[in-house]
Amino acid sequence: MSAPHLPKVAGIDPEVPVSTQTAAPLREIPAAPGAFIQDRLAGWVSDLTTLHELTERLAATATLDAALNELLHAGAALVGARRGLLVLERAGSTTPSTTLGLGLGPADLGHLETVERSATALGRILDGPPEAADARDGIATPDLLGDQDLDPRHREVATRLGYAASYALPLASEAAGRLGGAVWFYDEPGEPSEKQRHLVGLYARYATEHLARLTELERARADIATVAEELLPSRLPRIPGVRLAARHRTGPQGGGDWYDALPLPDHALGLAVGSVGGSGPSAMAAMGRLRASLRAYAVMEGEDPVAVLSDLELLLRLTEPARTATALFAYCEPATRKVVLAGAGHTPPLVLGDRRCEYVETTLSAPLGMLACWEAPSVEFSPAPGETVLLYTDGLLRRTGDAMDRAFARLHSAAASVPKADRHDPAAVTDHVLRAMLPDGLDRSDSTEDVVVLAAHFD
């Protein structure tokens, strides 16, 4: 007799033996194998985005001071600190060092300077060999006050300023070398993580390259400004009956705007402003030659401004035929308050007094070098006692960014708004006009225009 067959239920074969060992109940669903990798990638993307934003902000800085401030703030954000100190000090350079603090006042910086450099991490970075491994990777001091070997003066300053840890990093790269170092201070014991060190190290290397470019650019600008100042009068003459004031600013590339004031025979005074076309060392050299030539012609025949500019035109046409220039020369007799002037394509002077503010009507003329023979009639006028004659170059008008007609109206309005109490001081007049015309300041770095303003106040 055959054995009975067990019924099949729900597709389960009853003949298959059942295991006596059962698995533990499933309490949570395991993560997919790629989730960990995705989290890591998301973290990397976030870090790279942060680093990109910070480097973009740094690249947008156009001056060294702005770049140093941005570096200090960005570094503090990357390492999680609140305060910091940066020293720009290139080894072997004669340029004075630059010190900048974040969250530290002048008194705090003074306290830090009393600590011997060799006793601080920043000092070891600045004075140590560039190839030192700890200098390249940064120096972390996670517990300053707990360090038994800490310099007593350093401990005293840290206690006074209220920081308990620091992280110092060199500002160095292979191309630029070592430019200096930065240190960030923590209020509590701690140190940046490995990821934070990696990010701030990448940022610091990029910042070093940017700082090196800005340093060279500012050095070149300073050299250009020095040369430009040497080509202009070192001081204004003192002539009875007239007081003088001048303001001059050379563009970043060096330009050809100039002015002059020289005493002439019979207690007369020669005033001149001009502009040479182009920019750079070539324009500055041409400006120097043109100014020197005008001085010679003014001494010989200054009472005839037309003759002075005619000689200057001939000289320019024969020696530099490819160059153009504008110029205005005024022959002044302060005792009689008589002014005779002639202009070659230059902007007209402006007369400011208690009862009037108006442009002097000059004859139309082409710039020097534009015609085969230049000659335009001169103009004579007499400033009243207490009036100021303002000479300037068109860089003052162009710096405003307005159309020329609006720039002339703006200059007239600026001169007319000089307070009456300041109208007898030529320096106060020039400063007021510059503030009104250029609210952002005369030294705005993003402008390529030279600016010259020469004021003569007649007593």
pLDDT per residue over 119-145, tens digit each? 999 999 988 776 554 456 789 999 999
Residues 388 and 449 in one domain: yes
- Mean confidence (pLDDT) of the chain: 85
pLDDT at 32 over 80: no
Q: Which residue has the higher pLDDT, 163 or 34?
A: 163
User: Is residue 25 in some structural domain?
Assistant: no
Residues 111 and 75 in one domain: yes
Write down the pLDDT at residue 6: 43
Residues 219 and 240 in one domain: no
Q: In the structure, what pLDDT confidence band is assigned to residue 237 with cuts at 50, 70 and 90?
A: very high
Which of 171, 192, 223 is the last residue in one of the domains? 223
Q: What integer is the mean pLDDT of 297-322?
A: 90
Q: What integer is the mean pLDDT of 87-96?
A: 71
Residues 77 and 136 in one domain: yes
Q: Which domain holds residue 123?
A: 60-223
User: Is residue 10 in some structural domain?
Assistant: no
pLDDT at 442 over 80: no
CATH of residue 151's domain is 3.30.450.40
Residues 367 and 299 in one domain: yes
User: Is residue 34 in some structural domain?
Assistant: no
Which of 171, 200, 223 is the last residue in one of the domains? 223
Residues 351 and 452 in one domain: yes
User: Is residue 278 in some structural domain?
Assistant: yes
User: Is residue 228 in some structural domain?
Assistant: no
User: Is residue 219 in some structural domain?
Assistant: yes
User: Is residue 54 in some structural domain?
Assistant: no
Tally of structural domains, the chain:
2
Residues 327 and 436 in one domain: yes
Write down the pLDDT at residue 444: 56
pLDDT at 339 over 70: yes
pLDDT at 13 over 50: no
Question: How far apart are the C-alpha atoms of 200 and 94, rounded to whole Å?
Answer: 29
Which of 223, 242, 271 is the last residue in one of the domains? 223
Residues 448 and 305 in one domain: yes
Digit-coded pLDDT (tens) for 168-204: 999 988 888 889 999 999 999 999 999 999 999 999 9
Residues 360 and 382 in one domain: yes
Q: What integer is the mean pLDDT of 432-447?
A: 75
Residues 151 and 288 in one domain: no
Q: Which residue has the higher pLDDT, 371 or 23?
A: 371
Write down the pLDDT at residue 5: 47
Write down the pLDDT at residue 33: 53
Residues 304 and 354 in one domain: yes
User: Is residue 40 in some structural domain?
Assistant: no
CATH of residue 433's domain is 3.60.40.10
Residues 238 and 211 in one domain: no
